[in-house]
Amino acid sequence: MVPEEAPLPRPAPPLDPAPASGARIVLIGPPAAGKSTIGRLLGARLGLPLYDTDAQIVSAHGPIPEIFADRGEPRFREIEREVVRRTLRRLLDEPAVVSLGGGAILNSGTRAQLRHPALKVIGIEIDDETAALRLGGSSRPLLAGDDDPVARWRAIVDDRRPLYDEVATAQVAASHGPPSTVVNRIVDVLTGLQRAEEYARYQDTPPHEGTEHGPDGADRRTEA
């Protein structure tokens, strides 16, 4: 009796020649994390447009500190929510990089949008030392005039941490190295996520009828 041969393993799916270039990426994280700079470099690296929601707010409504001073934080959050809502809906239509303001995740509607499975939400993290270097003389509305802006920054981050964690697909450290290094880390994370998703889809796809796999894993077409 001839023993049955074990089935050959399915070959791995072909690799995308430009991994992550078709991703829909959202950068979140605390104030001073460098999201705007990282987003600009990431977009250039992947050939994707960048939509910076804080920059859109400034363009349409003026400097953010003035909005806080003249109209209050509740009105700013209303403006921010509308800009973020439109931008995230646009992101579903085309691959791009979106950079959100540090407090955008406070809105439950924004968090609901960020949970869409098509989006890759990357949390940018920095430590207290890095924050201290970036916050000296800060004009950020929630930190301006504070005797200890780093302590205030840490309190804000700790308060928002569960919300960042709730929506983040992955976290990337941005405390050490130049922004270009952070971009490399993000691309590595996105590439790994994309390849895992492609492999999972490939495993779930039944083999084509009339196709056999040779010993090297290559497809062998058979005549019907």
Residues β-bridged to residue 220: 212
Annotated binding site: 32-37, 54, 77, 102, 140, 160
List the binding residues for substrate: 54, 77, 102, 160
Q: What angle do CA 65, 29, 99 make, to 5 degrees?
A: 75
Which residues have CB under 8 Å from 125's CB, separation 6+? 29, 30, 33, 171, 172, 173, 174, 175
Q: Where are the alpha helices (DSSP H) in the chain?
A: 35-46, 53-61, 64-93, 108-114, 128-135, 149-167, 179-204
Summarize pLDDT for 85-135 with one digit per residue, the tens: 999 999 999 999 999 999 999 999 999 999 999 999 999 999 999 988 888
On whether the CB atoms of residues 188 and 45 are closer than 8 A, the answer is no
Output the known binding site for Mg(2+). Answer: 36
| Cβ neighbours around 31 below 10 Å, total | 22
Amino acid at 106: L
**CA-based nearest residue to 90, from 48, 58, 60, 47:** 48
Q: CA-to-CA distance for 206 and 184, rounded, in angstroms?
A: 35
Domains and CATH numbers, the chain: 24-200 (3.40.50.300)
- Per-residue model confidence as pLDDT tens digits over 62-88: 999 999 999 999 999 999 999 999 999
List 46's β-bridge partners, or say none. none
Return binding residues for ATP. 32-37, 140
What's the whole-model pTM score? 0.82
Q: For the ranges 13-17, 52-56, 160-164, 216-220, which has the lowest average pLDDT? A: 216-220
Query: Rounded CA gap, 52 and 50, in Å?
Result: 6
The pLDDT score that the predictor gives to residue 102 is 95
For residue range 134-189, list pLDDT tens digits in order. Answer: 887 666 777 766 678 888 899 999 999 999 999 999 999 999 889 999 999 999 99
Q: Report the Cα 36 to chain-centroid distance in Å.
A: 12
